[in-house]
Amino acid sequence: MAELTKELSKVKGEEPAVPGKDVRVHPNPELATKGPLDAPTGTPTVIVDDLHIVYRVYGAASESEKGNAVNALTRILKRQGRPQMKEVHAVKGVTFVAYHGDAIGIVGRNGSGKSTLLRAIAGLLPPHSGAVYTDGQPSLLGVNAALMRELTGERNIVLGCYAMGMTPSEVREKYQEIVDFSGIDEFVQLPMSTYSSGMGARLRFAISSAKTHDVLLIDEALATGDREFRKKSEQRIRQIRESAGTVFLVAHDLRVIEQTCNRVIWLHKGKIKMDGDPKEVLAAYTKG
């Protein structure tokens, strides 16, 4: 913990990632009006205030710990704590304000904290410090919503819908729609462990997008499935966006972001490196 405190202060001591910028002002007022969605109305829907996220990871091996009992005992005697428990500082002081009608793309390399940030906005990961304020209940539309692999697709659909808080009549109503949308047809009667990875991802996306959302967070959902499904899911996302206040989109496919977003945030090692016009940010991102 002491180490973490040191690290925190170190992070703060560094230059702010977007210097001299007032987070309250939309970074891209001109383009916002030309964006694919309605112009931002100036009403904030998501406020992220100096957010730090620290994960605890168990089972990570460190230098001193090679997993033998003598080492473990000396460690306990010396009161060194548990080295198997490693703390990962995934998001280091991110601050921004998202407005009604914003469609924000988040880019960055693997491990830059994109998914962690989305989870924090969705209220699924408690912040270490700082805060996230949202309008209504944000929904994370991920490809890795955990379902039970040993069970049939049919049972997973019902279970997933209930977990999202649907009533039995809503589930009955949506069931066929989900099956049709996922396009897995007769496989719905088989356990999910027999599905190909694409089929599983399609079913998960179909389930999680069956509900209406206020603030929508999409994590790599477009990267899965074949071309036909991709088209279908892009259409579905556009549909949802029309009713949603704000959309966040994490994708490695930059074309998707350019087509759908009016603002792009570039995350680098847990901090915002750039925030603004998609063309500018994406150009800088592809360059370096």
Partner 1 sequence: MSQPESAVADAQAGGRSGQEPLAKLAERYGLRRAIARPRFPVYMRQLWERRHFVLTYATSRNVSKYSNSALGQLWQVLTPLLNAGIYYVMFGLILGGKGNIENYPAFLITGMFVFTFTQRTVTAGAKSISGNLSMIRALHFPRATLPLAYTIQELQQLAISMGVLGVIVVATGEFPTWYWLMIPVVLLLQTMFNVGAALVIARLGASMRDLNQLLPFITRTWLYASGVFFAIHDKVVNGAGLPEWVATAMYLNPAASFIEWMREILIKSYNPDFGHHPPTMVWASCVFWAVFALGFGFWYFWRAEERYGRG
Residues that bind partner 1 (CB under 8 A): 1-2, 4-5, 8-9, 12, 16, 22-24, 43-47, 49-50, 52, 55-58, 93, 95, 97, 119-135, 137-140, 142, 144-146, 148, 150-151, 155, 158-159, 162-165, 167-168, 171, 191
Tell me how far apart the alpha carbons of residues 284 and 278 are, in angstroms, rounded to a whole number: 10
The residue among 67 and 288 lying less far from partner 1, judged by its C-beta, is 67
Distance between CA 5 and CA 116 in Å, rounded?
20
Please, which residue, 139 or 182, has the CB nearer to partner 1?
Answer: 139
Going from the C-alpha of 89 to that of each of 55, 106, 110, the distances in angstroms are 6, 19, 15
Shortest separation between residue 6's beta carbon and partner 1, angstroms: 9
Closer CB to partner 1, residue 20 or residue 288?
A: 20
170 vs 280 by CB, closer to partner 1: 170
Taking the CB of residue 254, how many other CB atoms lie within 10 A of it?
15
Give the whole-angstrom CA distance, residue 74 versus residue 91. Answer: 33
In angstroms, give the least distance from the CB of 99 to partner 1. Answer: 10
Closest CB to partner 1 among residues 55, 254 = 55
Distance CA 260, CA 267 (A): 18
Complex with partner 1: residue 97 or 244, whichever CB lies closer: 97
Q: How far is the CB of 288 from partner 1 (least distance, A)?
A: 26
Backbone angles phi, psi at 54, to 5 degrees: -120, 120
Tokens 């500018």 sit on residue: 280
Residue 240 CB, nearest approach to partner 1 (Å):
17
- Sign of the alpha-carbon torsion through 115, 116, 121, 122: positive
Least separation, in Å, of the C-beta of 150 and partner 1?
4
Query: Whole-number minimum distance, CB 47 to partner 1, in Å?
Result: 5
250 Cβ contact partners less than 8 Å away, ≥ 6 residues apart: 105, 106, 114, 115, 118, 217, 218, 219, 220
Residue 252 Cβ, how far from partner 1 at the closest point, in Å? 19
Query: Residue 110 or 169: which CB sits closer to partner 1?
Result: 169
Q: Look up residue 199 and give its two tokens.
A: 């089929």
Closest CA to 206 of 169, 214, 187, 194: 187
